[in-house]
Amino acid sequence: MLKIIPLGGLGEIGLNMMVIEYEETIFIIDVGLMFPEDYMLGVDIVIPDMEYLKDNKDKIKAIILTHAHEDHIGAINYLIKEVSAPIYATAFTLRLVQNKLQEFELYNSATLKQVNAGERISIPPFDVEFIRVSHSTVDGVALAIQTPVGLIVHTGDFKINHCFEESNVTDISRFAHLGQEGILALLSDSTNVEREGYTDSDQKVGESLAKIIAESDGRVIIALFASNIFRIQQIINIAIHTRRKVVFNGRSIEQTVSAAKELGYLKYPNSLIVDVKKVNSLSDSEILIITTGSQGEPMSALARMATGFHKQVNIKKGDSVILSSKSIPGNEKAISNIINNLYRQGARVVYDKIAPVHVSGHACQEELKLMISLTRPEYFIPIHGEYRHLVNHARLAEKLGIPRANVLLAEDGNVVCFEKLNINDLEESEALKTVKNTPKIGKNREVVVGKIAGSVNSGRILIDGKGIGDVGRSVLKERRNLSEDGLVVVTMIIDEETGVVLHGPELISKGFVFGAETGYLVDDAQCVILEIVEEIEVGAQSRVDQIRSRLQKALKQYFFFTIRRRPVIVPIIIEV
């Protein structure tokens, strides 16, 4: 029995991780993270729950990474701490993984193996072929996985484009050839299934950027994803044509550009590049800055420029700022804030709602249809997307002729099983159903039946600082309560023998203001506290604990009754 188990990426954007398992062999496709949602206060990043992998680590023979985005490689350092298996990836992806592992002092713990599009590797009983696909970073690949029960195709993140750069074109002829050979199941990217038509061309973006830069008399500052190497090359070419010097600013973009240049994915003369420290020695019309911060990150280079905290570059009147990226869901407010700040500083701001300065790296509806039509799979499994994306992609597959029973709508933790069965061994009714939904019958009247059968542990692990998984629902709830209603700390010192209050009760608030206008709250709250102390007899068992418990309840009721707020109450009671 072949098992396909998504541990992330089916039900959310990001967190992509897929397990392929047959008997005693497992390999993993992608190890991604996602950025925290609004309610995850204080959380840095989110990674998949890896409990299933820890329990089966002796079976894991390989980790395969499809491309270099954080939602596909960002959690690799957390996996390597638990699992010892070689990591297979293309050159650019592997270099960024290497940087990440070195940063976490894990490089010596990992075995990195470079592969190229068109190559195959053997992970018995699997044979894996790497197929070139176009995406918003270089060196992306899909996977054609030959298994004991049939051929599985995993598209990775892709779009179908027409480009003069062969290295950035999806190899649709290879997908078509595999379709002719026969594909058991297609696992296809669902991110852009809600968008009709085709993805716009990168050439259109290049023309738009060239026009904006040519019309700019002052400095040009372009913020984008550091991994978008093809876009960076477009901008470099425009800079050469318009006789501008290029400044790379931002740690991630500097690292990524260095890796891409060394590997030959970026081509430019070294004389074109100027250090950010020398930017003020050039005239504004000679400068083009490529930087980070397109998602409104508060400590990014662009954010510091917009707020006047950047050491070398501060936004001023005459600057043109281009946000050449799409907003990640959840970042819309932060991006809006940074755009407003840029306008306040007098800059001209250009983003995707104003001009075509970005195109998605994910296939739209017509491209998704083409992928299904080329591969002609017996089974279809939508991957990479929120649940609504998966549902819409499933419906698209049905419209293209894949039987509803053969469209497997899985979520994180579901176990998708494919098993070879002999029709003669089945009950007649089940045999008829199987033949109807499965076009191909093999030798000895064998059919491969796919279904969702059970589930494994899955979920999200929250990373806060160096803490891994120690922030759960209760902590998030406390943080939310603190952020919404504030904190009141009550301190008292009580004589253990007499029960007399020697000091206090003193009330200190944070986010729950006791000002002059609400001074009566303090007096009344102190009366509530003293009444509770008097009600509990001296010598009563666990008297202090009783006071704490009743004090919390009484103050919550009092504050809600008087001003409709529910602050967190922290009583500190000391007996002496």
Q: pLDDT, tens digit, for every residue of 24-67?
A: 999 999 999 988 877 777 778 899 999 999 999 999 999 999 99
Distance, CA of 485 to CA of 487 (rounded, Å): 7
Please check whether residues 212 and 324 belong to one and the same domain.
Answer: yes
Domain match, 154 and 44 both: yes
How confident is the model over 321-333, as a mean pLDDT?
Answer: 83
The amino acid that residue 203 corresponds to is: Q
Contacts 24+ apart (CB under 8 A), 503-509: 505/529, 505/530, 509/567
- The amino acid occupying position 543 is R
Do 192 and 206 share a domain, yes or no?
no
Model confidence band, residue 516 (pLDDT cutoffs 50, 70, 90): low
Give the pLDDT score at 338: 92
What is the domain-level CATH number for residue 382? Answer: 3.60.15.10
Whether residues 189 and 165 fall in one domain = yes
* Residue predicted with more confidence, 422 or 207: 207
DSSP classification of residue 511: S
- CB neighbours of 111 closer than 8 A, spacing ≥ 6? 85, 86, 87
Q: How far apart are CA 366 and CA 172, in angstroms?
A: 14
Residue 341 is assigned to a structural domain of this protein = yes
Tokens (6 digits) for 453: 């059968």
Determine which of 255-259, 332-336, 367-371, 514-518 has the lowest per-residue pLDDT on average: 514-518
% of residues, the chain, pLDDT over 70? 93
What is the span of the domain harbouring residue 292?
202-350
Instruction: Tell me the CATH number at 556.
Output: 3.10.20.580
Q: Rounded to whole angstroms, how far apart are CA atoms 352 and 80?
A: 38
Residue 525 pLDDT? 87
Q: Residue 552: in which H helix or E strand, if any?
A: helix 543-563
CB-CB contact of 491 with 572 (8 Å): yes
Would you state the pLDDT for residue 229? 94
Residue 521: pLDDT above 90?
no
Does one domain contain both 244 and 137? no
What pLDDT was estimated at residue 429? 44
CA distance 88 to 112: 6
Query: How far from the centroid of its chain's Cα atoms is residue 303's Cα?
Result: 21
Instruction: Identify whether the C-beta of residue 408 lies closer than 8 Å to the C-beta of residue 451.
Output: yes
Under a CB-based contact definition with an 8 Å cutoff, are residues 437 and 403 in contact? Answer: yes
DSSP 83: -
Spatial separation of the C-alpha atoms in residues 302 and 321, rounded to whole Å: 9
**pLDDT for res 445:** 66
Q: Name every residue whose Cβ is closer than 8 Å to that of residue 570 and which is 6 or more positions away in sequence.
A: 487, 488, 489, 490
Same-domain check for residues 213 and 321: yes
Of the chain, the percentage scoring pLDDT greater than 90 comes to: 64
DSSP string for 309-351: --SS----TT-EEEE-SPPPTT-HHHHHHHHHHHHHTT-EEE-
305: three-class secondary structure by DSSP = helix
pLDDT band at 196, cuts 50/70/90?
A: very high
479 within some domain: no
Average pLDDT over residues 303-310: 89
Per-residue pLDDT of 229-239, as tens digits, reads 999 999 999 99
Residue 235, domain CATH: 3.40.50.10710
Domain final residue, candidates 291, 319, 350 = 350
Mean pLDDT of the chain, nearest integer = 89
Here the tokens at position 430 are 């089940």
Are 155 and 8 contained in the same domain? yes
What's the pLDDT tens digit per position in 264-274? 999 999 999 99
Residue 480 lies in a domain: no
Q: What is the pLDDT of residue 165?
A: 64
The Cα 69–Cα 157 span in angstroms is 10
Query: How far is residue 436's CA from residue 429's CA, in Å, rounded to a whole number?
Result: 11
- Can you tell me the distance from the alpha carbon of 130 to that of 145, in angstroms, rounded to the nearest whole number? 9
CA 350 to chain centre: 25
Report the pLDDT averaged over residues 198-205: 90
Whether 440 has a pLDDT exceeding 70, the answer reads no
246 and 101 co-located in one domain: no
Domain end, chosen from 403, 429, 463, is at 463
**Rounded mean pLDDT, 348-375:** 94
**pLDDT at residue 576, rounded to an integer:** 82
Tell me the per-residue pLDDT of 455-477, one tens digit each, with 9 for 90 and over.
999 999 988 877 676 677 777 77
Q: Is the pLDDT of residue 434 over 90?
A: no
Residues 210-217, mean pLDDT to the nearest whole number: 95
Q: What is the model's pLDDT at position 139?
A: 94
Nearest to 574 by CA among 490, 494, 513: 494
Length of the chain: 576
Residue 472: inside a domain, yes or no? no
How far is the C-alpha of 29 from the C-alpha of 87, rounded, in Å?
A: 10
**Is residue 355 included in any domain, yes or no?**
no
**Final residue before a domain boundary, out of 296, 324, 350:** 350
* 476 in any annotated domain: no
Number of domains, the chain = 3
CB atoms within 10 A of CB 500: 11
Of 187-191, 335-339, 346-350, 521-525, which gets the smallest average pLDDT?
A: 521-525
Report, as an integer, the average pLDDT of 200-205: 89
Same domain, 152 and 230: no
* One domain for residues 181 and 225: no
Same domain, 113 and 147: yes
Task: Write out the H or E segment, with its range, that includes residue 45.
Answer: strand 45-48
Q: Model-level pTM?
A: 0.85
Count of CB atoms within 10 A of residue 110's CB?
20
CA distance 491 to 186: 63
* Residue 356: cis peptide before it, omega within 30 degrees of 0: no
User: What's the rounded Cα separation, in Å, for the pair 162 and 204?
Assistant: 12
* Residue 278, phi then psi, degrees to nearest 5: -105, 10
- pLDDT of 98 higher than 50: yes
Of the candidates 142, 148, 123, 137, the one whose C-alpha atom is nearest the C-alpha of residue 186 is 142
Answer whether residue 471 is part of any domain.
no
Task: Provide the 3-class DSSP secondary structure of residue 94.
Answer: helix
**480-498 residue pLDDT tens:** 777 778 888 999 998 888 8
| 395 vs 546: which has the higher pLDDT | 395
Q: Is residue 25 part of a domain?
A: yes
Do 340 and 210 belong to one domain?
Answer: yes
Distance CA 376, CA 380 (A): 9
Dihedral pair phi/psi, residue 374, rounded to 5°: -70, -40
Contacting residues for 354 by C-beta, under 8 A, at least 6 apart: none
Q: What is the mean pLDDT of residues 192-218?
A: 93
Closest CA to 274 of 313, 314, 307: 313
